[in-house]
Amino acid sequence: MTTSVAELGATLRAWRDRLTPAAAGLPSGRARRAKGLRREELADLAGISVDYVVRLEQGRFTTPSAQVIAALARALRLTGAERDHLYRLAGLLPPGDGQISDHIPPGVHRVLHRLRDTAVAVFAADWQLIWWSPSWAALLGDPAAVPPALRNFARDTFPVGGAGPRLSQWPVLSAAGDAVEAAVVSDLRRATGRFPADERLAALIRVLAAGNARFAELWAAGEVGAHREDHKVVQHPAVGPIEVDCDVLSDGELKIVVLSAAPGTEDETKLRLAGVATGFVPGR
C-alpha cells in the first residue's frame, strides 16, 4: 500500500469520526459509542455503497473518481483547503479556477440544515443538482432515484432524445413559460465565461445544442444573464396542485433554489401536508 493511499484512508476515517450526525444534518437517534458518523451514514450522504467506503478507508480502492471525491467532500462538510487535500490524496487535481465546483462550504451547509423544513435545493453553476432538503423531495419527488449525471435542470428544461423531466416526478407548470428557457440558456452562457476550462459544462452544451433545436436556437442568440425567479404550480399526486414561488440565490458558483408558498394560504398548508404524505417530513 502506498503512503498516499494509506493516508487517504486514515484521513477519511479521521474526518468521518469528527463529524457529528447533527452537523451532517442527520437525527442523533439512539445512544452512540462514538460521536462521529457511521460508515453507513457517510455512504448514504455521499451516494455510494458502504463497501466502497470500507475499501477506501482500508486502502483497498486506489483510484476513486473525481465525482466520488466531490461527493465525499460534500458529505464530510470539508473546507475548500480540506477538499483540495482530499483530491490530491486520491491522485487527482483539485478543481481549478476555470472549473465548476460541486463543493458546498461548511457555513452554507449549516444554513441549509436550518432550512430542512423548506423546499430548497443547491445547484452548481451548470445547473447540476448537488443537494436537496427533505421538503424538496416531498414536493417534487426524491431526486435520489435519478442517476447523478442526469440530475440537471438544464437537461430537464431542454430534453434530448425524447427524455422527459427527471428532477420532478410529477408535472410542474411555470408561469414564466418560454422566459425560463431563455434564462437558463443565458445563465449557461454566463457560466462558460466564468468556467472556460470546465469539460462537464462544455459537454452539457454540446449535448443540448446537438439534441434540442430550441436550445440551439437560444444559444445562437448569444444572450448572457441569470435565472432568478418564477411562479410554479406543482401537480402533487397526494395533496393536489400547489402554487409556489421559485427564487434563485446565486453567487456565480452555487445556486440556492427555494420553493415557498405565500404565508397563511391553502398552498402553504398543502406544502406542509405534502411532506407528511410522502414521509419525507415528519408530522408535527
Return the CATH fold of 3-89.
434 Repressor (Amino-terminal Domain) (1.10.260)
Which residue ranges does the chain devote to CATH 1.10.260.40?
A: 3-89
Contact (CB, 8 A) for 129 and 203? no
How high is the pLDDT of residue 97?
64
Report domain 106-278's class: alpha beta
Alpha helices (H) along 97-196: 106-114, 134-140, 153-157, 178-194
Set of cell numbers at residue 232 = 410554479
Which residue ranges does the chain devote to CATH 3.30.450.180?
A: 106-278
- Please tell me the distance from the alpha carbon of residue 216 to that of residue 219, in angstroms, as a whole number: 5
- Please tell me the distance from the alpha carbon of residue 181 to that of residue 225, in angstroms, as a whole number: 12
Laid out side by side, the sheet with 129-132 consists of 129-132, 119-123, 255-260, 240-250, 229-236, 172-174
- 33 Cβ contact list (under 8 Å, min separation 6): none
* Helix H or strand E segment including 173: strand 172-174
How high is the pLDDT of residue 1?
47
Helix (H, G, I), strand (E, B) or coil at 281: coil
DSSP 8-state code for residue 162 = T
Set of cell numbers at residue 23 = 452537523
Walk along the chain (284 residues) in steps of 10 and give the mean pLDDT of each run: 74 93 76 82 89 91 84 90 90 80 87 88 95 94 89 94 84 88 92 89 96 95 80 95 94 89 96 87 52
Set of cell numbers at residue 266 = 391553502
- Please tell me the distance from the alpha carbon of residue 181 to that of residue 157, in angstroms, as a whole number: 7
- Please tell me the distance from the alpha carbon of residue 160 to that of residue 212, in angstroms, as a whole number: 6
Angle formed by the axes of helices 66-75 and 39-46, nearest 10°: 120
